[in-house]
Chain A
Amino acid sequence: MVEEKSDNEVSAQRTPAWTVPTGRRTDEWSECLVHIGKSQDRAAFTRFFRHFAPLIKAFALAGSSLSATHADELVQEVMLKVWQKAGGFNPEKAAASTWIYTIARNCRTDMFRRLQKFDTQLAAEDLSIEVEGEEPFAVLHNRRGSDRVRDLMGQLPPDQAQILAKVYMEGKSHSEAALELDLPLGTVKSRVRLAIQKLQVQMDRQ
Chain B
Amino acid sequence: MAMANHHPSNDFLMEHAAGTLPVAQAACISAHMNYCDRCRRAHDQMQNIGGAMLERMQPVPVAESVLEVVLARLNDPEPLRHQTAKAAVALPALLSRIINGDFSQLVWKRITRSLSISYLSTGDRDYEFALYRIAAGGRIPEHRHSGSEMTLVLEGGFSDSKGSYHPGDFIYRVADEKHAPVALDGEDCICLAVLDAPLRFTGWNYRWLNPFLQLRAS
Contact = CB atoms under 8 A, between A and B. Distances in A.
Interface in A77-108: 79-80, 83-84, 94-102, 104-106, 108
A94 B54 CA distance: 14
Contacts of B7: 205
Interface in B33-52: 33, 36-52
A114 interface: no
A72 B62 contact: yes
A104 to B, nearest CB: 7
B205 interface: no
A121 B73 CA distance: 26
Contact of B18 (A127, A153, A171, A205): A171
A83 B20 CA distance: 26
A54 B60 contact: yes
Interface stretch (B89-97, B103-111, B179-187): B89-97
Nearest to B55: A97
A47 to B, nearest CB: 11
A49 B68 CA distance: 11
A101 B42 CA distance: 17
B2 interface: no
Contact of A153 (B44, B52, B81): B52
B161 interface: no
Interface residues of A, number: 82
A75 interface: yes
A169 B53 contact: yes
Interface stretch (B8-16, B136-144, B150-158, B188-196): B8-16
A105 B60 CA distance: 17
Interface in A191-206: 192-193, 196, 199, 201-203, 205
A62 to B, nearest CB: 7
Contacts of B92: 121-123, 126
Contacts of A122: 23, 27, 92, 95, 122-123
A79 B121 CA distance: 31
B5 to A, nearest CB: 9
Given A1-B71, A42-B74, A49-B67, A149 B122 contact: no
6 contacts: A75-B66, A76-B73, A79-B70, A80-B74, A127-B27, A192-B10
Interface of A: 1, 4, 42, 45-46, 49-50, 53-59, 61-62, 71-72, 75-76, 79-80, 83-84, 94-102, 104-106, 108-109, 118-132, 134, 138, 141-142, 145-146, 149-150, 153-154, 164-165, 167-169, 171-174, 176, 189, 192-193, 196, 199, 201-203, 205
Interface pairs A-B: 5 shortest CB-CB: A120-B123, A98-B51, A54-B59, A97-B51, A58-B57
